[in-house]
Amino acid sequence: MKKFVKVFLIACAVCFAAPSLYAQVSVSLTVRTAPPALPVYEQPECPADGYIWQPGYWAYDDDADGYYWVPGVWVAPPNPGVYWTPAYWGYTGGFYGFHVGYWGPHVGFYGGINYGYGYGGYGYGGGRWEGNQFRYNTAVVNVNRTIIHNTYIDRTVIVNNNDRRSFNGGRGGVNARPRPQDRVAMRDRHIQPTPSQISHQQAARSDRSSFAKVNHGRPEVAALSRPGADRKDARPAVARPANSARADKPNAARPTRTQRTEPAQRAARPAAAERARPQQKTEPRQRAVQPQRAPQQRVEPQRAPAQRAPVQRAAPPQRAPVQRAAPPQRAPVQRAAPSQRAPVQRAAPPQRAPAQHAPQARPEHHR
174, amino acid identity: V
The CA-atom distances, in angstroms, between 34 and each of 31, 74, 120, 172, 358 are 8, 27, 21, 9, 147
Q: Are strands 66-70 and 95-99 parallel, antiparallel or unpaired?
A: unpaired
Is residue 183 a part of any domain in this protein? Answer: yes
Is residue 351 a part of any domain in this protein? Answer: no
Is residue 359 a part of any domain in this protein? Answer: no
**Please, what's the b/e burial string for 150-183 (b: 16 or more CB within 10 A of its CB; e: otherwise)?**
ebeeeeebbbeeebbbbbbbbeebbebebeeebe
The residue segments making up the domain with residue 12 are 2-276
Is residue 158 a part of any domain in this protein? Answer: yes
| Residue 274 DSSP SS3 | helix
Is residue 36 a part of any domain in this protein? Answer: yes
pLDDT by position in tens, the chain (length 367): 444 434 444 444 434 333 333 444 567 688 999 999 999 999 999 999 999 999 999 999 988 779 999 999 999 999 999 999 999 999 999 999 999 999 999 999 999 999 999 999 999 999 999 999 999 999 999 999 999 999 999 999 998 888 999 999 999 999 999 999 999 998 999 999 999 999 999 999 999 999 999 999 999 999 999 999 877 667 787 765 433 333 454 454 443 343 443 433 444 444 444 444 444 443 434 443 344 444 444 444 444 444 444 444 544 444 544 445 444 445 444 444 444 444 444 544 444 544 444 444 444 444 3
Number of helical H runs and strand E runs in the chain: 11, 14
What is the crossing angle of helices 327-335 and 337-346, to 10°?
0
- Closest C-alpha among 99, 152, 142 to residue 249: 142
Is residue 23 a part of any domain in this protein? Answer: yes
Contact between 113 and 124 under an 8 Å Cβ cutoff? The reply is: no
Is residue 334 a part of any domain in this protein? Answer: no
Is residue 83 a part of any domain in this protein? Answer: yes
Name the domain count of the chain: 1
